[in-house]
Chain A
């Protein structure tokens, strides 16, 4: 940006500032997103509103443009980095907030044999932004890790991710094991990953297929809201 184009974020009104934060997030400008977040908070905005309107709102636009082939992975990662900047300001405030607005716990992990986690991390971040407490199991998770996490954390949603055609069938192994143990009634299962599609998700008995990070977070939220679990701690 040239000096002539430079401006002070403090000069913008609230609506303009939210739009500017979304633009800066889209451009992957983490320092600007962090500054914008701080300004909105200093104007008395609730941290949940900053998160929802500015950050998650911005990432939804990113998600749509990624889906439509306008943005690619490197740009999305920069956007995610910018969102992290804003989240780092908001997270402690939200954690200390007297008002419990959590949608519940969301356990997420990449399946056994797969070390890819970019998509998983984006989903985790979007779900955190949507109001979930995200428990990230990391990569290369055997079925035992998922079962243990469900037992330990009692999440409302379990998310599985895979990038490889060779590893995505493992999701079916996890689902089968959960069915055998009667655990499916307690937790809603979602799946996602580049080679997946709705047909595959249906075939393993997990109709909740998230085609991208933004949609996955929306679906997770819709599920919880649909259950009437605005306060979904179990």
Chain B
């Protein structure tokens, strides 16, 4: 992994207070949500540095734990505390092992769909239709890049069945209200031949990252 893959989102103000810098290291698919949450907490802006790793790792979860480890090994010492905006994300516990080394905590849950929707609601959705395919704001906005090109369907549409033959429904777990994205998601469901459901769930327990920073700053 090259360092160029790490997307620096907000750094300048973070160096103001050397003793109180906090790092939020997260998935690139959460970048807009993290920035929005940061804006809602203006007192954090000079104390929190957000860094995001490639969202494309959504399709290659085996890259997440080594990628996080590489970033933390080079940068964790620069921060007073490290917060991780990932769930397990298909790493099968490998991410937790890395985080234990750095005493960093991630968001509870198996993946972002679960922490956005809430565990109970997500489990209910899965029980209702096991063949459910989930989208978030980021995935709707970047559908062609992450899903179509990322899965090679632009060049090899014949692979569609290999990926999606067992899916029957698309649920858009929206973080924000956006009519264009809503229409796009509905269209993707139609194109794929899936039933469609829209749920405005917000950022769910992603908020916990900033709640923990708040507690950390007060302590």
Q: A residues near B, CB below 8 A? A: 69, 72-75, 77-78, 81, 113, 115-118, 121, 139-140, 163-166, 168, 194-197, 199-200
Q: List 30 A-B contacts (CB under 8 A).
A: A72-B60, A73-B151, A73-B152, A74-B152, A74-B153, A74-B155, A77-B162, A78-B156, A113-B126, A115-B130, A115-B166, A115-B167, A117-B166, A118-B162, A118-B163, A140-B130, A164-B110, A165-B88, A165-B91, A165-B92, A168-B92, A194-B61, A194-B90, A194-B92, A195-B61, A195-B88, A195-B94, A197-B92, A197-B93, A200-B92
B78 in contact (CB, < 8 A): no
Residues in A with CB closer than 8 Å to B93 are 165, 195, 197, 199-200
Are B159 and A165 in contact (CB-based, < 8 A)? Answer: no
Q: Mark B148-171 against chain A: 1 for CB-CB distance below 8 A, else 0.
A: 000111011011001100110000
Q: What secondary structure prevails in chain B residues at the interface with A? A: loop
Known: A72-B60, A77-B159, A139-B166. Contact between A195 and B130, CB under 8 A? no
Residues in A with CB closer than 8 Å to B61 are 194-195
Residues in B with CB closer than 8 Å to A196 are 92
Q: Mark B77-95 against chain A: 1 for CB-CB distance below 8 A, else 0.
A: 0000000000010111110
Chain B CB within 10 Å, residue with most, of A77, A81, A116, A195: A195
Chain B CB within 10 Å, residue with most, of A75, A78, A115: A115
Total contacting residues, chain B, CB less than 8 A: 27
In the assembled complex, the Cα of A31 lies from the Cα of B23 at a distance in Å of 52
For residue B69, give the distance in angstroms from its CB to the closest CB of chain A.
Answer: 15
Are B159 and A197 in contact (CB-based, < 8 A)? Answer: no
B118 in contact (CB, < 8 A): no
For residue B88, give the distance in angstroms from its CB to the closest CB of chain A.
Answer: 5
For residue A201, give the distance in angstroms from its CB to the closest CB of chain B.
Answer: 11
B59 in contact (CB, < 8 A): yes
Chain A: CB-nearest residue to B131: A115
For residue B63, give the distance in angstroms from its CB to the closest CB of chain A.
Answer: 8
Residues in B with CB closer than 8 Å to A117 are 166
In the assembled complex, the Cα of A117 lies from the Cα of B152 at a distance in Å of 17
Residues in B with CB closer than 8 Å to A69 are 63
The B101-131 residues at the A interface (CB cut-off 8 A) are 110-111, 126, 130-131
